Chain A
């Protein structure tokens, strides 16, 4: 008689424990590098299909940016992109992003799309790199943005080599589906950050030429898409500012939407 009660109770407990282990974390908001507080939209708690994940990571020591470079353009850029996806596609997307840490056990696996900025400053531990690798191989997608020049590239590659020691980072060909899944993006150009408004330069550091690169899996599907020498985050962030040129904001949205569509179809 006791066993009859005990076994279902243990099974229920196991289900709860397993469920909690695998459960998605609720929405959370951190202080951004540029925004101390950012108002929440009224529907921020809406349950939706797509949530834009913002990758949290520890930065290499570079003065004031230590520990916080992942929050560049956060959360304004993310929310503008979410609004753009809502307007331009049929995707049911949450109005607010989800900051995701590689140290939060299995939480990352609940968010198949990740956006990371300033990856020229990331400092991944071996354990974090292994989790990111596993995430990508299981079907997750990582979009990296806002890193410029050869120095930041090398720092990015330090981390990426930990994630995929044996997978090359290659240029994405024009014919790749990621440039055609929704918009045909054969004619792409460099999208500068907001710094253009006061410097007049479309590039930062020695990153004169925009590079569209990526890491593919064994079946030819992009797992990681890299916007090197570009700042799409800024373009989304400042797209509602009349000083920021429309042509760059427009292209940034189309690239962002295409990347999301690709991530949800490949």
Chain B
């Protein structure tokens, strides 16, 4: 259509420049148009008393006549299009065909590869060969020159368009490449086409014309787009996996989300699919199991009719630590809560609960100690002693019982060491225990009431908040909704404390109703410094154990999860992390270690090595180097050459003394990325074409590319001047102006 009116293709106009070929100056054209319009106006003015055309009718007629005159004058000045075009048979056009696995996807009875071949064979290649030398390439993991289309087989396990583009552009140094034609579904999986590549193409002025293949949206498909699991976990801990997916064609239907560790199902739950194309996130709980590096497959089981079932599964790796975190629980007086918390934790073999109980004004009773010296003199007074624990629980023990040094140590324990601190309710807790003072005020996740008498030995019933619904601390039933209801049926807590108001940024996980008053916070958590703190307002959860059937584990589960939360994230002296835990069709990974001394101050003078055990037990070692801008942080880059699982142990030393070690796990998987995002990425293809001065088309319009491709600034070109004065649009416009005048005159009865 464009070409019918404007005589030449749009690409010619986009790349060309409008000029006036008549040779007369432009100012003369303007002057002639102004003079002509003035003359027309004068003639009409003179006739004003001799005709019926008056007022606005005169102005309309004047406007139409002046426009026609202006158009005719413009045509006299010979408008033309000056455009650079490729010289016939002297340029090379590179035709790159995506030959990755996603091009093998069958849609409407034929694969994308077959459709691409049909479009090229259907005339486009012939048109191109008539004007240019055509070089065929296949691309996927790398660019490869081919002689004929039959060599395509959709076998490459990745699509690296950026790398292919770079290679072709590099060839332009020795070949007169006038244009690039890219036939692809755009399912790029190496991170997109970077700005550097685009700049290089632009610098060489090579237009990239893209031809999109494949559906932009699958009709029936479920695709997992993200899966989040913790990088590290404690043995037998309950973990949460967040799985994000979207689907087409199954809205309202049920699917099954299954988690498998080494082939064994560790969690399975139903999911109900939301609207088509909408990102949906579901959480699933599973048990971390025993210590070691773990591979977790997260899958939505394929449904009947799915077009691509290879994108239903993602794999994640995490490391389960064999370390047993130690929690110190200090209790100011004998009480049932103490006994039953101890009993709950006795069932958890992955943590150690050490308790210090003031039985009399002058005596302590210690349980769970590692050696007879531990806590021999009561609550720790040194960093070495206190920082050996991962979390502290304060029972009903008044703030003033701690010396100023111990109070400061507690603060440093959370703030610097990154430990967990739980405040429990009791008659010497919170406001009643004098905790509304430094350094406790900032550590508490609540603003305490400014009065005493906040502890009551009365019943309180518990209920989860919205935040508590998804919290691992509060999950005593697998299913989130059933868990909400389960909390409502728990026996009442005998003894509660008014905590005051949760601080901004704190998370209220549970609330309680007591004494006919409005709901008030029961469990509030917050992050503080490098650590975390929690306030728990209940003092009689032991009734959950005594007043429920023996087989019921809600009391044990709650306390195990609560204390596990308190230690989760408490760093060791060496904290290992990786830039990525899954390498999909890539090999480079960055190791990072945060190293601290015994006081948990950054240890910038440490030396770190990373020992890597790769697939088949192959070992290697890398020395990590300090990051200049971050004290105590060390990094190293590693190239994982083989597919499989890797375990990295980072060991820190200061002189001959070992400061600590930590383990991280990652996995390299090849050929997986190609199974995902298989819809045609039209946006990427359009953007590439637009940024390089090319055009984008669907496979059905591919043949029209033959007309556009000649206009290019790259390769061997010549400048052409194409007449525009005779383009159909001018004649049609002149006809329209004259016709409009005639119609108006007829309407007004002057003809």
List residues of A whose CB falls within 8 A of some B CB: 11, 15, 18-19, 22-24, 47-50, 88-92, 106, 109-110, 112, 134-135, 137-140, 181-182, 219, 260-261, 263-266
Contact = CB atoms under 8 A, between A and B. Distances in A.
A49 B491 CA distance: 17
Contacts of A260: 334
A265 B346 contact: no
Given A49-B335, A138-B545, A264-B339, A15 B461 contact: yes
B339 A265 contact: yes
B550 A92 contact: no
Nearest to B343: A139
B389 interface: no
B360 interface: yes
Contact of A261 (B334, B343, B461, B488): B334
A266 B367 CA distance: 10
Nearest to A219: B346
B542 A139 contact: yes
Contacts of B491: 18, 22
B550 to A, nearest CB: 5
B360 A88 contact: yes
Contacts of A140: 546
B339 A266 contact: yes
A204 B458 CA distance: 44
**Main SS at interface, chain A:** loop
A201 B672 CA distance: 88
Contact of A112 (B336, B359, B367): B336
B662 interface: no
Contact of B550 (A23, A49, A138, A261): A138
B546 A112 contact: yes
B494 interface: yes
Contacts of A109: 543, 546-547
B333 A110 contact: no
B367 A265 contact: yes
B652 to A, nearest CB: 39
A155 to B, nearest CB: 28
A19 B339 contact: no
B336 A90 contact: no
A139 B340 contact: yes
Given A138-B546, A139-B542, 10 more contacts: A18-B489, A89-B360, A90-B332, A90-B359, A139-B343, A139-B546, A182-B360, A219-B346, A264-B338, A265-B342
Contacts of A15: 461, 488
20 contacts: A15-B461, A18-B491, A23-B492, A47-B458, A49-B333, A49-B334, A49-B336, A50-B335, A89-B334, A92-B333, A110-B494, A110-B543, A110-B546, A112-B339, A134-B550, A181-B359, A261-B334, A264-B334, A264-B336, A265-B357
Contacts of B458: 47
Contacts, number: 97
A22 B338 CA distance: 21
B373 interface: no
Contacts of A18: 489, 491
Contact of B333 (A11, A88, A90, A263): A90
Contacts of B411: none
B365 A265 contact: yes
B459 interface: yes
Contacts of A266: 339, 342-343
**Main SS at interface, chain B:** mixed
Contacts of B542: 112, 139
A139 B545 contact: yes
A90 B360 CA distance: 5
Nearest to A133: B550
Nearest to A263: B339
A23 B460 CA distance: 12
Contacts of A89: 333-334, 359-360
B334 A106 contact: no
A217 to B, nearest CB: 10
A222 to B, nearest CB: 13
B427 interface: yes
Interface in B485-509: 488-489, 491-492, 494-495
B361 to A, nearest CB: 7
B148 interface: no
Given A139-B340, A139-B546, A265-B342, A91 B334 contact: yes
Contacts of B340: 139
Contacts of A92: 333, 335, 427
A134 B461 CA distance: 24
A106 B543 CA distance: 11
Nearest to A134: B550
A109 B357 CA distance: 24
Contacts of A23: 459, 492
Nearest to A221: B343
B333 A22 contact: no
Interface in B38-69: none
Contact of A24 (B343, B346, B494): B494
Given A261-B334, A264-B334, A47 B457 contact: yes
Nearest to B552: A138
B135 interface: no
B471 to A, nearest CB: 23
B238 interface: no
A225 B472 CA distance: 39
A264 B335 contact: yes
Nearest to A106: B547
B598 interface: no
